[in-house]
Each structure stands twice: as C-alpha cells, then as structure tokens.
Structure 1
Amino acid sequence: MNGTPTIAPFVIITPAHNEEALIEQTLESMVAQTVRPLKWVVVSDNSTDRTAEIVRRYAAQHDFMQLLEIRRDGTRHFGNKVHAFNAGLAEVGALDYRYIGNLDADISLPSHYFESLLGELDSDPSLGLAGGMVATRIGDRFVSQNVAPDSVAGAVQLFRRACFEQIGGYLALPEGGIDSAAEIMARMKGWKVRTFAALQVLEHRRTGTASAPPVAAKVREGQRLQSLGYGLLFLCLRCIYRSMDPPRLIGSAATLLGYVQRRLSGAPVVLPAEVVSFLKTEQQHKLLNSLRGAHVRHQRPL
C-alpha cells in the first residue's frame, strides 16, 4: 500500500454496473485523496464487462478498498442501485463511522475533496447532507449542473450517519430519484442540505444516459419528478430556468412532456403523503421568494 494517508470516520459505497470504460478514473481519484475512508466498497452489480477485474486489481494494492460482486437477473430497474448500495452498506455495518456516502463510478474528484467536505460537516452539526458541484461531460467539455445550494447531486452525496439513518436510507423507487427523495426527507427532518460550489467534481457521463440518449433521459426525468410529487407550476418554471441546458430547449420540452404524460396517465406519486406535502410547501416558498426577489430588482433604481 502506497503512503500512510489519514483514515477518517467515513465510508463510501459505489454501485457499479458495467463501468469498465470509466471506473478507473474514479479509482485513481480515490487513491489520490488526502483523506481516505475507513472503507470504500465498490459493488459490481451484475456487471458483464471488466468492472470487477479492474476494481480487484486496485483493491489488492489498497486496503481501504473492497470489491463486492452481486448477481441478479438482467432486468434493468431503478431499484437495482438501491439494492446494490444496501449490499455495500451491509459490508460496513460493523465499522464505527460518522459519515456515509454514495459515489458514482464515473466521477473524478480533486485530491482534497473529502478533506474539505469533512471539514464542512465537522464544523456544522446541523449539516446532514453535503457534496460538491458536479460538472458533466457533454461532448468535449464539462458543463456545471448548477444545482440549488440546498440540493446535492446523487453522484456525490455524503450524509451524516445520523441523518442517513433518520430518513431510512435510500428508497427503491420505481422511477428512480432516490437521491432527490433522500434530500427532501433530510430537509423535512430539519437537516441542512448543501452543495459547496467551490468543490467541483467531474462526471464523465451524463446522468441517465448510460442506457438512453439525452432526450429520452430528459423524458424519464420528467416522469421521475412527477412520481416524486413535484408541482406543475414549479416544474414549468424549473424547465424555463434550465431551458439552456443541453440539449437546449428540447431537453426542457422533453422533461415537461414526460411529466405531463405520467400525470395524465394517472400514475401515482410514490413518496409518502407527508413528504409530498413538505415538498410542495417548500416549492411554494421558493416560488414566493423568487417573486419577491424579482419585485425588489424591478423597484431598484437604475
């Protein structure tokens, strides 16, 4: 094992399905961390490529890494990631950790990433969920996701253990959105959720496009947001705000189409009623605050 990096009281779990093309970049950035986890469990989730072979080679050289291989039928389901994550969670159950995180298998991190993020969590006991700002590769460049400050991209969510256990962990939702559901429930329980924009991480493949082209992924996004209970007005304004995100205009139109299709079909909202009620109240407050801010800007003299 190279060097003697500081071991911090956190664990990381990475569900990985057929990630041979990208996972080595994630492995290299984890090896380079100034602060490493007690344990990093990479779960090869029914992979049929060289994912497990690549991880096994790194794990043989670094004690903090562990490869876990699981098998299942080949059906693609949004709940598969949760089942893989929970299999990894069982592997760290005996460890005394303070923080637990999900890290996607197509992410590169700056070397100081966990050292900086743990410092933020340690300094604010009310901070329950934190992460960096994800910049996604689109074509030959990386484009920032520009998530809201009180939201954290699912690819890099790091929870305080008490927060994670209080919300009951990730839910295996049929339309996906496990990360969104987790942060909504964290805020509902009174925890702060925050993205630190100065901590930029790189996502080498756009979320949702591993098995679908970008427009189809946007349709699924709309379906997912409806399943979580997003309000129509908030969704429309969100689409307008993100209309310049690639694919420009078409992406937002596809998101709205997916939302409306699922809503008109009578498909149910999958989150508990109290969570949906909190979400809609939260969205109403954000809309009102945006309107007040626009009014103040309009009244300000030139």
Structure 2
Amino acid sequence: MKNNSYVIVSPCRNEAEFMRHTLDSVIAQSVRPTLWVIVDDGSTDDTPRILSEYANRHSFIKIVRRDDRGHRSVGPGVIEAFYEGYRAINADKFDFICKLDLDLELPPNYFKTLIQRMAENPRLGTCSGKPYYVDSGSGKLVSEKCGDENAIGASKFYRVECFKQIGGFVREVMWDGIDGHRCRILGWIACSWDEPELRFIHLRPMGSSQKNIVSGRMRHGYGQYYMGTDFVYMTASALYRMTRPPLIIGGLAMWLGYIQSYLCRKERMKDKEFRIFLRKYQWSCLLNGKKRATVTLNQDGAARWDPSAPPKFSEI
C-alpha cells in the first residue's frame, strides 16, 4: 500500500451553482486526497474563477482546462473529460482513485470510511455511499434508491488495481453500470452502503444535468439497451422506477428510451461474453431477488479473482 493515498478526478462544466458545496466538503474531509484534479470541461459560467480561487488556496487541487464544445455532454462527454484528468496523473502512485461530481455535499468522514472498508476486504474493488436529495416541499432528505450492487456514478471510489484491470470506464451512457458488472466478471466486489456516515447530498436530481429529468431517464433507457439488458428485466426495472419521483413518468421514460433504441436498432456493446454474463445475472435477480443474486455471484467470484492479472478490458 502507498499510505492509503487517493486521487480524485472531477469532470465539471458550468457548476458554479453547486460546486462550492463539493469543494468545501472535500477540503473538510478527515482524510484529504493527496491530489484532486478538476477538469473544467469548457465552462462558460463562473466555474473557472471559483476553481482558480480554490486552487490558489489549496496546493492539492490541480485544474485542467478543456475547450468549450458548446454544450453539456453526459455519458461519453463526461468520461472524455475524466480521462483528460486521468492522463494528467500517474495512477500507480496512488492506492485509490475516485471519479467525483461537483454537485455533491459529502459527510466529513466519507473517504476515511471508504478506505477503511477497502482495507477490511481486499476483494472490494469499488464502493460508495448513497445519494440523497432535499425535497423542495418538505425540506426532508429523500433517498434516490440506488441499488447496493454498484458504486454510485457521482462518486466512484476505486482500488487502482481494479480500475486498471476492468479497463476503466467505457465512453458511453451506461459507463457507471458497465464498470460494476465488469468487476463481478473478474471476481471483484462492487457495492454501496446506505449508512449515516456515507450518505451524501445530490444537489441536482439524478439524470437532470442535460436538458431535464425525463430526457435523462430516456437516456438511461438507451444505456440499458446499449449494454445488453434483457427486455423483461428492463420492464421490471421501469415499473419499480415509476414508484419513485417523478412518479410514473420517470420509469415510463426509461422504458420508452429502451424501446425506442430497440426499434431504431441502435448500436449495442459488441462484447458477447459481457452480455451473456449480464443477462444471467439479471434473470437471477428477477428469480431470486437482487440481494441474494448478488451475494451468490460475489461468492462464486472468489475463484475468478486475481488482483495481479493483466487488464481484461482496454478502455483506458
């Protein structure tokens, strides 16, 4: 180990409204990052000035600037910006790497707790806490109800060996789901915990950063289609999401995004082994429940796990 050092890479674009919350909550961490690379993806608001202000005050913050492409691009655009920051570091100098959004508010022991969990389980490849948002009517915190079988896309905390072995993130919409399945293919464990010290506030509703939340949910439906999700599983997932805000319309938009992609014969992942693995897991989730299916798969994965093996995938 390298003294439990970690580096954060944060792609951002026009985050002036939220970013001070994230910047201040990372600075206030009980275990700070060794390095924090923030990639300004062509911001046109006050983001560059705020970043300069914080970088001038804190030496562990490094800013990488990209040209303005003229619009926000989630999925491929976010990952391209992430890799701009990744190329500015030597990942081998760190134990952990985190892809972190700049619209979050983290509890003070967030990273300390994640590092402790990693130390307790060497097969744990990626993990995170759970996102909550503030209800505009009641002012109460509401869970975004993300599954336990993966780290949350807004906060992807990775063991560097695992991140390199799975090939990093694909440059597609479903990058934050594909990575967790690739972990399981190789015997690594991906998970998230809904515990007080790991609950973070998502200052912007999930899936609403480009256009609106309905467009975001339709984009999610395309992402599920792209990675090879089975129609029956997609329907069950959409029905569940209909019970979460925005009621009915959110889950319906996901399902329509999937169906539209199918009818238009859009491109799907070419990795046949991945699609077979994914659908087998999804059917196990439908028949046995996701928690039991994931536990069984993680138990079986112990025989496949080899942290010293060369990368199986090649996205990086």
Select the structure with the greater relative contact order (CA < 8 A; seq sep ≥ 6). 2
Partner deviation per Cα, 1:187-208 (whole Å, 9 max, x = no partner)? 1111001101111011100122
Quote the RMSD (CA, aligned, Å): 1.9
Q: Give 1:234 deviation, angstroms.
A: 0.7
Q: Is the 8 A contact 2:206 2:213 kept in 1?
A: no
Q: Once the two structures are aligned, what percentage of the paired residues are identical?
A: 30
Moved segments of 4+, more than 6 Å: none
User: Is the partner of 1:47 in helix, strand or coil?
Assistant: coil
Distance 1:8 1:171 in 2: 26
CA contact (8 A) 1:137 1:206 kept: no
**Deviation readout 1:146-186 (Å, 9 max, x if unpaired):** 2221112100110110110001111111xx12111111111
| Equivalences for residues 117-132 of structure 1 within 5 A | 117-132=114-129
Question: Residue 34 in 1 paired to residue 33 in 2?
Answer: no
Matched with 1:297 is none
Q: Distance in 1 between matches of 2:134 and 2:265?
A: 35
Alignment match, 2:300: none
Q: Counterpart in 1 of 2:301?
A: none
Which ranges in structure 1 are unaligned for 5 or more consecutive residues?
1-6, 294-302
Whether contact under 8 Å (1:46, 1:70) holds in the other structure is yes
What amino acid sits opposite 1:44 in the alignment? D
- 1:64 paired with 2:57, answer no
How far does residue 290 in structure 1 lie from its aligned partner after superposition? 2.8
Contact kept? 1:39, 1:92, Cα under 8 Å? no
Partner amino acid, structure 2, of 1:17: R
Structure 2: gaps (5+ residues) = 293-316
Is this contact kept in 1: 2:16–2:45, CA < 8 A? yes
Does the aligned pair in 1 maintain the 2:13–2:72 contact within 8 Å?
no
- Whole-Å separation in 2 of the counterparts to 1:48 and 1:92: 26
- Check conservation: 1:9, 1:97, Cα contact below 8 A: yes
> Conserved in 2, the CA contact under 8 Å of 1:17 and 1:44?
yes
SS in 1 for 2:193: strand
Aligned to 1:220: 219
Instruction: Determine the structure 2 residue equivalent to 1:188.
Output: 185
Kindly indicate which of the two structures has a greater share of residues assigned to strand: 1
Q: 1:287 to 1:158 in 2, by over 3 A?
A: same
TM-score by length of 2: 0.85
Give 1:53 deviation, angstroms.
Answer: 1.1
Q: Is the 8 A contact 2:131 2:202 kept in 1?
A: yes
SS at 2:200's partner residue?
Answer: strand
Greater shift in the superposed pair: 76-85 or 47-56:
76-85
Q: 3-state DSSP class of the match of 1:202? A: strand
AA of the residue aligned to 1:16: C
State the partner residue of 1:17.
13
